[in-house]
Chain A
Amino acid sequence: MNVVEAYASVVIAIFLLVVTPVWLLKEQTDYITSRNDQYETDYLAWKLETEHKISMSFFTKDFNVIPYSPGWNATDVEITDHMMKLNPKTTRYVHVIYGEKDRWIIIE
């Protein structure tokens, strides 16, 4: 093995041992988080609708209201600039329409 081959092997080994596992772990974590966020949002929507007759909807960035449909989660919709000022990255807001009254609920 000459010097070039040795360096190439080292680079490949580092890539395989460090970069790829970290990327894979991130992919898996993101997937699980996204799926469980979706479940929690679905469960919340179900509880609001069955117990309180509240329908849940989301705001888009241009303040259009999108009715909630199962399978969505709060991260599917862009958070408005105004809401970004209100909340840290860890907190997500959804808009709830209750009769003619509007209010915000917070999912943390």
Chain B
Amino acid sequence: MPGFELSFTARNVLTGAVLLGISGGVMGCFALLRRQALLGDALAHAALPGICIAYLLTGAKTPLPLFLGALAAGLLGALVILAAVRWSRLQQDAAMGIVLSVFFGLGIVLLTYIQRLPLGNQSGLDKYLFGQAATLTPEDVRVMAILSAVVLVTLALFYKELKLLTFDADYGASLGLPMRRLEILLTLLLVVVVVVGLQTVGVVLIVATVVTPAAAARQWTDRLGVMLLLAAAIGAGAGVVGALLSASIARLPTGPVIVLATSAVLVASLFFAPRRGYLWAVLRDRRVENRIRRENLLKDLYRVAEDRGGAWRDLVAWPLLMGLRGQSSRRLSRSARPLQRRGLLERSGDAVRLTPEGHRQAAEVVRKHRLWELYLTHRLELPSDHVHRDAEAMEHALTTEAVEDLDARLGYPEQDPHGRPIPRPELRTTAGSLP
């Protein structure tokens, strides 16, 4: 690559790829949210007979008639899908599969028919199918730009209505909006984008330029507006990467590089996106797990003290604690150290004990456990030997408000089903005065 001077072809490809990235990304958001991710795939295949018929009618490979032919066939395919779902008991996936394969099969029939015509110059129809970005002419790019602009402007004009269609079509209908017509409008826009993209990335990969940026954007936000902008940015960025890489490395096709770049963004989003990402989920799980361990340790100390007649300032031997849950010394230390740091636990040599604040929090956990056990035996009439396991889980999940409510509903009981006392939060006030 000579510096950053791009060749004429490469500039065309770059412009085309960015246009497609933006319009595909934006339309993809709607397709994704409406659970029609694969509609783009079906429509791209359905466009083939339209291209062939347009060619048969005009006898020339000028972009506009072929575009219109593809558009018409794609729209017809979309309407067939809508009709088949509405008028038969077929599901959307089957309707899409049928339109995809039958229209494409018909296209192949027409294609082989055309190849037998004595017209000549018919090779190259397939570039509309399998995507050869390098064959994009300035005129192609101009048509792409105009159509993309039309799509984006229409989306902006009908943004509120289409948003309603996507999230709550019934509500929209009750407001008197023409939901079916809006649905057809949205499908038409998708057909336009798909047809625009055919020549750049091809019939197989077009679905990824529509779905993947939207799927990646979805991981970062719950707001449609933000999602649209993100998807457009991801699509455009992948377009730039695809165009530049394929321009600078020999025999590297543009479409697949665009798709892989978008897929890389998707994988990164799935891992790192805040709140929804795998990484965050793992961290969150670990945090919860650690809290459960700490609460269990507090509870164990409380129970030991209870067995010793309530002497919770006495030291408890380390090996005894290890034995209670069969934990290794290291694992127990991992729970004990943060408790020490927070001043809930004191360690002296090979033994530990609760601080007053630690004792208060331990009592809180035990209280949740025992109230829940009581609730299960009283209200659900479970036998008392069946409730411990459930309470083991609930003691970490119940909020303070829920516990107070539970306490009130049970009539402020004194004892759990096993006859052990239920600690009261009054301990908080007495805790300071205890030795």
Instruction: Specify whether A and B are partners.
Output: no
Residues on A lying within 8 angstroms of B by beta carbon are none
Residues on B lying within 8 angstroms of A by beta carbon are none
